[in-house]
Amino acid sequence: MFEVRHVLARKSDQVFQVEPTETVYRALELLAEHDIGALAVVDQDRLVGIFSERDYARKVVLHGLTSRNTLVRELMSPNPVTITPDEPIEACMTLMTERRIRHLPVLSEGRLTGLVSIGDIVKMLLAEREGLIEELEGYIGGKT
């Protein structure tokens, strides 16, 4: 069974983040630059929220705002649901499904150590299944 730490090991060590006082425009630049869907919002080394493409899509134009004049703290999803590295990835799937979220910050001893997405979880599950299929094929073929 895979844990969140295994998902993080397959990803870059870098956790992309933005301060709550940055403009939404700057956050969008970071999302585009790194080809990601969400940023951790960090204030003085403390996770305070998540800013995602979904936050932008649903809260800017619909509320008559502009990305250059709006701060991340105005649109971010505050108090994000978090998970620890030793949790099974099934716990991530449950949280994401129940809370209808696509990104989970990973905290280790209260410190942000990663951010996993639904895409990361799906990739890990597919890799696990491929490994199991190869194992079974080897067993059936007498290679084990």
If DSSP codes are grouped into helix, strand and coil, which group holds residue 56? helix
State the total domains in the chain: 1
Q: What pTM was estimated for this model as a whole?
A: 0.84
The mean pLDDT value for 66-86 works out to 95
- For residue 128, pLDDT over 80 is answered with no
In this structure, what CATH number is given to the domain that contains residue 12?
A: 3.10.580.10
Q: Is the separation of the CB atoms in 50 and 80 below 8 Å?
A: yes
| Mean pLDDT, rounded, of the chain | 90
Percent of the chain predicted with pLDDT > 90: 63
Which class for 118: exposed (0-12), middle (13-18), buried (19 or more C-beta within 10 A)?
middle
- The C-alpha angle 139, 121, 24, rounded to 5 degrees, equals 160
The domain of 120 spans 4-140
